[in-house]
Structure 1
């Protein structure tokens, strides 16, 4: 398995390239602001051919370069239907004053080929199988992508802005909801094996076990077991 990542643009959003090995087909996860140049370098270095762009959610720092990346290579973008409108109007997910322009009037558009994700769906792309988990709370259409364990390589989760090392995604923007993100953490993260590698939308990688043990939001998401004294 080959996974290469880099932080893109002023938001430092992690963009990932995932392939079975060098010289093969690959998928791109979350090409954010100014991602095109670094992305081209990664693809050239590892001799990779992209077949799809996967979007964990529709916030502008994760989808900024989706249309140009898809258009240059004639490949589809995959996104959850609850966030699809953000591909062409990412300002809807921001708390903008009435009439306020987005980044000086910058405009966005959908790629020619947009495909919608469903909870529990397994995508067969580039010789890999990625499981989609709908995990709302940061946005209504937030998803994660999971690669299954392969030999000595543990499970891998691309968590977007659901789960970070030591924290979780913000819930104060339109479409965000704190109780909902806690339910997503409980349903989609807590049951995973402890050695599951978490590759988040921002910051360093971590593991489910480490976050279960140290992340206060994961503790809050865990169901209360009740008192334990007595028989």
Structure 2
């Protein structure tokens, strides 16, 4: 069975998720945006072995600790989609803009594509391409757990910003309505910031979806 813990990191309080296969005790971090020591302590607390790092998109607040963890723990980085390469190349500039400590540019070991799978122990996560917030954003879906890790595509009561370079509001709305919501009303999603919700709840109550501005 797949299990997870949401670990907010940095003053931005972005959600890093530690996910793991309960059978093998192999784990992955989804969007480790910072505080690597805090994240490594969670591995120890649960008795887990880190297998990989998974990134939904290339914004600094979601990738800030990824390369350090890769180097220290000897694990690969998977994701995001290659269209976000320019964001990863801009990490030093992003750090300067947002007041973070210097962060070197890096590239993942594997870009993710629509329809692929990411393995965590004996469990599999389906990859869905969901551009709009960034051009290379992906989300991860666990059919067995009926849970999705959606980065900054969708939030409880809101949606991702589209005023960053190569963001696009109409594309983001299509990603939500044509890719996320069809996964099912009962699916719980873990966003990049803030509390979890379900796709069904957002379908009927999220003002950006009930009265979308195209």
TM-score by length of 1: 0.84
Q: Which residue of 2 aligns with 1:30?
A: 31
- How far apart, CA to CA, are the structure 1 residues paired with 2:173 and 2:71? 36
TM-score by length of 2: 0.90
Q: Secondary structure at the match of 2:102?
A: coil
For each residue in 1:108-158, what CA deviation from the matched residue of structure 2 results, as whole angstroms up to 9, or x when unmatched? 1326x6211001111223211111111000000111000113xxx4x1000
Q: Which residues in structure 2 correspond to 1:116-155 (within 5 Å)?
A: 116-149=111-144, 153=145, 155=146
Kindly indicate whether the alpha-carbon contact (under 8 Å) linking 2:28 and 2:52 is maintained by their aligned counterparts in 1: yes
Gaps of 5+ in 1: 222-231
Q: Which residue of 2 aligns with 1:14?
A: 15
For each residue in 1:52-95, what CA deviation from the matched residue of structure 2 results, as whole angstroms up to 9, or x when unmatched? 11001000100111100111111111121011232242367x6x
| 132 and 104 in structure 1: CA distance in 2 versus 1, 3 angstrom threshold | closer
Provide the alpha-carbon RMSD of the alignment: 2.3
- The offset of 1:101, in angstroms, is 6.3
Q: Which residues in structure 2 correspond to 1:35-50 (within 5 Å)?
A: 36-50=36-50
- How far apart, CA to CA, are the structure 1 residues paired with 2:86 and 2:52? 19
Match 2:193 to one of 182, 202, 225 = 202
Q: Which residue of 1 aligns with 2:151?
A: 160
- How far apart, CA to CA, are the structure 2 residues paired with 1:129 and 1:165? 25
When the two structures are aligned, how many residues end up with a matched partner? 212
| 27 and 105 in structure 1: CA distance in 2 versus 1, 3 angstrom threshold | closer
Say yes or no: does 1:169 pair with 2:164. Answer: no
- How far apart, CA to CA, are the structure 2 residues paired with 1:215 and 1:90? 32
- How far apart, CA to CA, are the structure 2 residues paired with 1:33 and 1:26? 17
| 89 and 218 in structure 1: CA distance in 2 versus 1, 3 angstrom threshold | same
- The offset of 1:32, in angstroms, is 0.4
Say yes or no: does 1:106 pair with 2:102. Answer: yes
- How far apart, CA to CA, are the structure 2 residues paired with 1:211 and 1:43? 32
**Shift >6 Å, 4+ stretches:** none
Q: Secondary structure at the match of 2:18?
A: strand
| 197 and 85 in structure 1: CA distance in 2 versus 1, 3 angstrom threshold | same
Higher fraction of helix = 2
